[in-house]
Structure 1
Amino acid sequence: MATSLLAQPRQAGSGRYTWWGFDVYQASLWVEPGFDAAALARQRYALDLQYLRNFKGRDIAQRSIDEMRRVGPFSEAQARNWLGAMERLFPDVSSGDRLTGVHLPGRGAQFYANGKPRGEIADPEFARLFFGIWLSEQTSAPQLRLTLLGQSPTAR
């Protein structure tokens, strides 16, 4: 699994994302010793999503762009570039499949599908906004954010 890229990985938290009553995925955040949620940009961590439904990779990429807009502004040129990169990296998924992103501080993000490398987007601003979908205060799923960061009584 992609968590092998982390030194002494431990699970900070895990939670289920549900949209309009449908279970979408189980998310888990894996971190290294000394992880500090207040300093996400400077840390290596892995976000693992185990899908509970089938989705097209291009739909995952488009939804990611939509959610990244909640986190912070970016240009249409960046949106086109990032969308194209994600469409190439994100495969179609079936229930049980895993997509994992590893945050590389100052560099960008590496992606894995079912533990196999898919590629990297070498852009720290992309990584900040992408992982912000789950981990920023502007997330559309604030309870899941708290659970992933281990800051909620429902953290598992």
Structure 2
Amino acid sequence: MRRPRVRSLASTAALVAVLLALPARVAASGDAPVRVGGAAFPAWQDAGGAHLRLQGAGLFRWGWFVKVYAAAHYLDASAPGAPPEADVARRLEIACLVNVSAAELARATEKLLARAHGPEVMRSLGDRLARLRAAYVGLKPGDRYALTYTPGRGTELSLNGRPLARVEGADFARAFFSIWLGSRPVDGGLRDALLGAGAGPAVRARSRG
């Protein structure tokens, strides 16, 4: 009688392992808000005179169990399907799920940008990147950072709806958004989720670590 029980436990363990290895994917439904990692993201937002449509959202984990943040990517509704490098209005909203210091954010930004771009690009960002990093403040669960790019106006960093800094240049926006949307992102699965890979905007939880 014990052998079937052993096989049953083994089968259950194998199923759990498979489920953990697969990124969860839930399609957005019409204009309803999308929820991921306990954070809700509206289907539409307005910024800088542009009407922005949710493209996708994802959950960034460290390892299997530590949920670090939920993120959502919005794109100008008049430019559907525009690639990440296009000079169009877009927003990345990040809902923090853990405590993160301003120093940790600054170090992560520097590391990820340096990994994605060469020394020449980093030099071109120079003082502009320093200004943005200087505006960072520590985050606690429930806080939301938003990066909003408006052509001709630049990239605005805001915390819980309060503007912190604005940095000029389409080149700066391309470089900074590439941390999540570029060819060498913080996580490939999260990038695909934010870009709404597949049929329509989607939510995709992805593990890292």
The alignment's TM-score, normalised by the length of structure 2, stands at 0.65
Could you tell me which residue of structure 2 aligns to residue 85 of structure 1? 131
SS in 1 for 2:119: coil
Q: Give 1:63 deviation, angstroms.
A: 0.4
Query: Aligned partner of 1:44: which letter?
Result: A
Check whether the contact 1:24–1:53 (CA below 8 A) recurs between aligned residues. yes
In the alignment, what sits opposite 1:23?
Answer: 67
Q: Deviations over 1:32-81 (max 9, x none)?
A: 21233425331110000000001112211220111112221135655663
* Corresponding residue of 1:13: 56
Secondary structure of 1:49's counterpart equals: strand
Post-superposition offset of 1:132: 0.1
Asked if 1:142 corresponds to 2:188, the answer is: yes
Judged with a 3 Å threshold, the aligned counterparts in structure 2 of structure 1 residues 39 and 97 are, in CA distance, closer, same or farther, namely closer
Identity fraction in percent? 26
Correspondent of 2:170 among 114, 120, 124:
124
Partner of 2:106: 61
Aligned residues: 155
Cα RMSD after superposing both structures = 2.4
Shift of 1:152: 4.2
Unaligned 5+ segments in structure 1 are: none
Comparing 55-64 with 101-110, which one deviates more in the overlay?
A: 101-110
Check 1:19–1:79 CA distance in 2 against 1; reply closer, same or farther (3 A cut): farther
In the alignment, is residue 52 of structure 1 matched against residue 97 of structure 2? Answer: yes
The CA deviation string for residues 93-119 of structure 1, in whole angstroms up to 9 with x for no partner, is 100100000123365311110011111
Structure of larger gyration radius? 2
Aligned partners of 1:32 and 1:83: how far apart in 2?
24
CA distance 1:68–1:84, shift in 2 (3 Å) = same
Q: Alignment partner of 1:81: what SS?
A: helix
CA contact (8 A) 2:135 2:164 kept: yes
Aligned to 2:117: 72
Q: Runs of 5+ in structure 2 lacking a partner? A: 1-41, 204-209
Change (3 A) 1:43 1:80: closer
Q: The residue matched to 2:46 in structure 1 has which SS? A: helix
